[in-house]
A and B are shown apart, each in its own frame.
Chain A
Amino acid sequence: MMLDIKNLNIWYGGIHAVKGIHMNIEKGEIVTLIGANGAGKSSAIRAIAGLVKGYKGNIVYTRSGEAAVSLSGRPPEEMVKMGIALSPEGRRILPQLTVEENLRLGAYIRHDKAGVAEDIDYVYGLFPRLQERRRQKGGTLSGGEQQMLAVGRALMSRPDLLMLDEPSLGLAPILVSEVFSVIRELNRQGKTILLVEQNAFAALKIASKAYVLEVGSIVIEGTGEELLQDSRVKEAYLGG
């Protein structure tokens, strides 16, 4: 198992935002975590990335060929070095840096210049619009382009586990399908992906495993297919 989340609890002051969830991710899977706004999805994914201080429970990570390690207490910059990258909610593109500088920053931990140049071209191959705008400031991109850049930037550290927090947020339907087809393509190329989404239908269609989060608790889990057929999921998340 690549990632094993055991009894994860997160509090913000008095708010118990994540209430003892269990999740696991196998190498090569797309796992999705769906749920309404405020369910605690971002909190969970941010905890994995090292951005939540003082959570309870354990997150155990196993990089292929290495011993299992606990992630708790490690800072975010260490996670990247261990092969975990997050494309955060809201994209968080650095507005004053160019598209290419944003990508280079994603490769900050790497020292193989040639490999980085190759990967920049790889990202441009995935998202040709980014190449056209490579010298443009990140802040001048459209929402969809920024999302592509956020995904591309997370790829630049060559992560073993790619985590995406709501990559479809605020995108036009055509762009949503473009982003999702790239996610599927990345998975076909062997990337393990944890996908947090409110767009349940699109996420379940590409996921091998799915969890539904409701006010901090996982209420349903199963394969993507099973959940697409589940009456509770249909009713609450797929518009009946």
Chain B
Amino acid sequence: MPLLEITGLTQRFGGLQALSNFSCCLEERELAGLIGPNGAGKTTVFNIVSGFYKPTEGSIVFNGKRINGLKPHQVTAMGMARTFQNIRLWNTMTVLDNIRLARYAWLNYGFLSAVLRTGRYRRAEKAIETKAREVLEIMELTEYAEEFPKNLPYGLQRRVEMARALAGNPRLLLLDEPAAGLNSADVEGLIRHIRWIYDEFKISIWMIEHQMKVVMSLCRRLAVIDFGCTIAEGTPEEIRRDPDVIRAYLGDGAL
């Protein structure tokens, strides 16, 4: 049984067809990529899968359960986490608090416990703190725990966002252009971190990425979409030689 199975996904925004009949499968423990030119519909796929958009048509099955129509927080609680193309951290909270909040879906205490500071509250907060610090340690962010994300360089912010996604113990991690805006040294670090996460957490990763260097060195399987349609699928080597892909990226004259 595949971990994520998308069939016949179609998304219309008014007159614009952002996705047409998109299908894709992701096996357990896969590290796959989704590429395509600007405006191809990649982020739209992620937005649908994570529950932000309700697809016009199609079905998404995650971990054996149909998830279309679920709210994003429900999808997250089922073991999916993601990062955003444009970083979305909580800027007036410390890095540590940002990570802690990723455990929100699993909070087992409520308002009264929080206010009365019951034993249950203290145990839960302690567990959250331990988990958050552990994730920070793994992502080499411990020294920034008390910083505010907005004061950190871009590369670190991306890493914090990844750490936050991981703190929810996801089975599937969706990364939307994790290398966007990074310099080449940061990109090296990113590749190292992603590979490390993949090996250490034993999770599946699906990433959108423009930088060929990143996809080529990480992904074993790629899907390419253009104008909302899948135009190619295969290993990075196959994709690199695919005439349809070259045409999509470079225009008809390239062949």
- Do the two chains belong together in a single complex? no
